[in-house]
Amino acid sequence: MADPDSTDGGEQLRTPIVAVLGHVDHGKTSLLDEIRGSAVAADEAGAITQHIGATAVPLDVISGIAGSLVDPADFDLPGLLFIDTPGHHSFSTLRARGGALADIAVLVVDVTDGFQPQTEEAVDILRRTETPFVVAANKIDTVPGWRPREGAPIQETYDAQTDRVRSDLDEGLYEIIGQLSDAGFSADMYWRVQDFQANVGVVPVSAETGEGVPDLLTVMMGLSQRYMRDAMAVDTTGPGVGTVLELSEEKGFGTTIDVVLYDGSLRPGDTIVVGSEEAPIVTEVRALLQPKPLEEIRTESRFEQVDSVSAAAGIKVAAPDLEHAMAGAPLRVVRDRPVEDVIEEVQAELEEIAVETVEEGVVAKADTLGSLEAMANAAAEAEIPIVRAEVGDVAPRDVAVAETAEEPTNRAILAFNVDVLDDAADAADESEVRIFEDDVIYQLVEDYEAFVTERERAQQEQILENITRPARFRILPDHTFRQSDPAVVGVEIEAGTLRNNTTVALFEGSEPERVGQLSGIQEQGEDVDEATRGDRVSVAIDGPTVGRQIEEGDVLWTEIPEKHAKILEQELVEDLPGGEVEALNMYLEKQRDRDPFWGK
């Protein structure tokens, strides 16, 4: 049985590939389900083609849903192919010949919830891959008082609402437009946008009632026709080129790969080259599997075998030796070319997205090659070094690599949307390796940065505990309680923090003279460990005699070893309270009057 999308040969316009992105629970799947359901309602069952991880909606069906908004005579693109793998990380960072796999994207945002972490990450991916997109401002039907009009264009249903409901909806829409502006995108309601290359169109929709869906399909068809028509020209008889979405086991076929084919064609018997964790895999296609019409790929559906498939389409490929194929890796059909040349092409594409690693850094693991690349970009921006970057679950060998890091903060694994194998988790528990897991890349980076900050803060606190802190204090007149053994006097702290068990010095000009050791601090008769600027306390100083080595009215200093002064000024000054910075600067100034290079 031939695939409905296959052609007799020659160049034709392929279907644009549409990515659907957005935060969890904002309605990505519901929106796709509504488009599918509308498509079935608009035409007889089977009008839309269910592919592996994708749904093809032909132009005539889009016209049926959109009504007067779409005149098929205005378009020569065949329709739209919606990718529906779960989560933007599963495919939007996958690549096609060095670019994004998707030609165009729909960013789904809950109009009552606005931007959320995965929304921001999706926007970052769209910016980095330069993928044109529109925003589906979903869940307009949840605005209190909304009067639904099933499947209606947005302006028709908007006009039917009360002033208060329209005002509430506008507030949510302009909040989204403002958040897009904060992210660097000029945006407005789609009907006000003149140039979709310069501005992002926002389309209010309801996945629940179908309101606004005609507008959304119209905008995507218009964008595709106007800006992508030339790029959609492919040779449907040429050797197929695609990207691996994911691996799965199928009864009777073993390991199979789900592929989005974006150029050429693919047939059983074709020799293919697929990117893998090691050398590219060279194998022969045994079967092409496609879900039966309108059956969801994730249900317990049986597949039918097809004789060929042409771009753009999703297809399940059964072939030997696919166990080590990688999600995000390229697939290329060999046909009449030397297989060595095709292997080189696949290898070059893989190397193009190889993550730059260093000798000392963290271990990075991700679910796909594209995700790994996005993760590496985020890590580079945050100046996080990577020692090893691989696709796949966290295994004991990853823990072993992380454990060898010299820097304690590099004994870490950043795991994006992958599992941590039990023995790897056990190995990490028994070592000093920390594993960070998340399905939002920037959240993963932020969690690691917070860990580093906390570790550094703890280290700084430990250093500060063991380092002499600066203080300047004055002996108060008529406050000599004991002249010697030890001298006990009342003092006022003028700058810094005076701590017990520190050496006390008196400057004669620029020459410091050690006068004794502080052996006790009392405040209102109670022993304390330290006193700060403005405090008046009594102190016991072993060594001097009041009236000889020290006098009432003298300004005394905590003596700071030169090595400590250097550390305080060069490494810890940002961690010191303002009063201590003042005391340190005055102390350094006195020392450097005598020796300009002291403490440097």
Q: Are residues 102 and 190 in the same domain?
A: yes
Domain that holds residue 510: 471-594
Query: DSSP class of residue 312?
Result: S
Segment 425-438 mean pLDDT: 94
128 and 221 within one domain: yes
Give the mean model confidence (pLDDT) for residues 500-521: 90
Q: What pLDDT was estimated at residue 85?
A: 56
* CA–CA dist 253, 317 (Å, integer): 9
Q: Residue range 127-154: average pLDDT?
A: 93
The predicted pLDDT at position 367 comes to 84
CATH code at position 589? 2.40.30.10
Tokens of 457: 């803060």
Element (H, E) at 205: none
pLDDT at 297: 40
CATH number of the domain bearing residue 454: 3.40.50.10050
Considering only residues 318 and 21, tell me which one the structure prediction assigns the higher pLDDT: 318
Q: What total of structural domains would you count in the chain?
A: 4
Strand order in the sheet with 187-189: 49-51, 54-58, 79-83, 17-22, 104-110, 133-138, 200-204, 187-189
Among candidates 198, 190, 206, 214, which has minimal Cα distance to 134?
190
Q: Quick check: 187 pLDDT over 80?
A: yes
Together in a domain, 375 and 274: no
In a domain, 268, yes or no: yes
For range 427-454, the mean pLDDT? 92
Do 458 and 490 lie in one domain? The reply is no
| Cis peptide bond upstream of 540, omega within 30 | no
Nearest Cα residue to 541 out of 577, 590, 498: 498
102 alpha-carbon distance from chain centroid = 19
Q: Distance between CA 433 and CA 361 in Å, rounded?
A: 12
Examine residue 356 and state whether it is found in any structural domain, yes or no: no
* Angle made by CA atoms 424, 428, 430, in degrees to the nearest 5: 120
Residue 85 lies inside a defined structural domain of this protein: yes
In a domain, 357, yes or no: no
Identify which of 211, 203, 68, 51 has the alpha carbon closest to the alpha carbon of residue 133. 203
CATH number of the domain where residue 50 is located: 3.40.50.300
Whether 521 contacts 513, CB under 8 Å: no
Token representation of residue 250: 């199928």
Query: What is this structure's pTM?
Result: 0.66
User: Which has more confidence, 463 or 2?
Assistant: 463
**For residue 25, what pLDDT band results from cuts at 50, 70 and 90?**
confident
- HEC string of 181-193? HHCCCCEEEHHHC
Per-residue tokens: 550 = 């020290």
Tokens of residue 418, six digits: 């992958």
Predicted pLDDT at 526: 92
For 581-595, the pLDDT digits (tens) are 989 999 999 889 888
pLDDT one-digit tens code per residue, 541-572: 999 999 999 999 999 999 999 999 998 888 88
What's the rounded Cα separation, in Å, for the pair 383 and 381?
Answer: 5
pLDDT over 50 (residue 539) = yes
- Binned at pLDDT 50, 70 and 90, residue 296 comes out as very low
Residue 1 lies in a domain: no
259 part of a folded domain: yes
Last residue in a domain, options 463, 485, 515: 463
What would the pLDDT profile of 356-407 be if each residue is shown by its tens digit? 889 999 999 998 887 888 888 889 989 999 999 988 899 999 999 999 999 9
Q: What is the band of 250 on the pLDDT scale with cuts at 50, 70, 90? A: confident
Residue finishing a domain among 171, 205, 233:
233
Q: Tell me, what's the pLDDT at 1?
A: 33
Using the predicted structure, report yes or no on whether residue 47 has a pLDDT greater than 50: no
pLDDT band at 303 (very low <50, low <70, confident <90, very high): confident
Q: What are phi and psi of 61, to 5 degrees?
A: -70, -40
Q: Provide the 10 A C-beta neighbour count for residue 249.
A: 9
Model confidence at 68: pLDDT above 50: yes
Question: What confidence category does residue 98 fall into, taking pLDDT thresholds of 50, 70 and 90?
Answer: low
Instruction: State how far the Cα of 95 lies from the Cα of 17, in Å rounded to an integer.
Output: 12
Domain membership of residue 485 (yes or no) is yes
Is the same domain home to 42 and 191? Answer: yes
Is 408 part of any domain?
yes
- Looking at the structure, tell me whether residues 311 and 214 fall in a common domain: no
- What's the CA dihedral at 358, 363, 367, 370 to 10 degrees? -20
Cα(435)–Cα(385) distance, integer angstroms: 16
As separate numbers, helices (DSSP H) first and strands (DSSP E) second, the chain gives 13, 34
| Distance (Å, whole) CA 288 – CA 150 | 38
pLDDT, the chain, mean: 87
Q: Residue 201 above 70 pLDDT?
A: yes
| Same domain assignment for residues 252 and 296 | yes
pLDDT by residue (tens digit) across 466-490? 888 899 999 999 999 999 999 999 9
Which pLDDT value is given to residue 67? Answer: 87
Confidence of residue 254 (pLDDT cuts 50, 70, 90): very high
In the numeric block, the tokens 């960013």 are attached to 107
Task: Decide if 414 contacts 379 (C-beta within 8 A).
Answer: yes
Domain end call among 233, 264, 282: 233
- Is-contact 371 95, C-beta < 8 A? no
pLDDT at residue number 119: 87
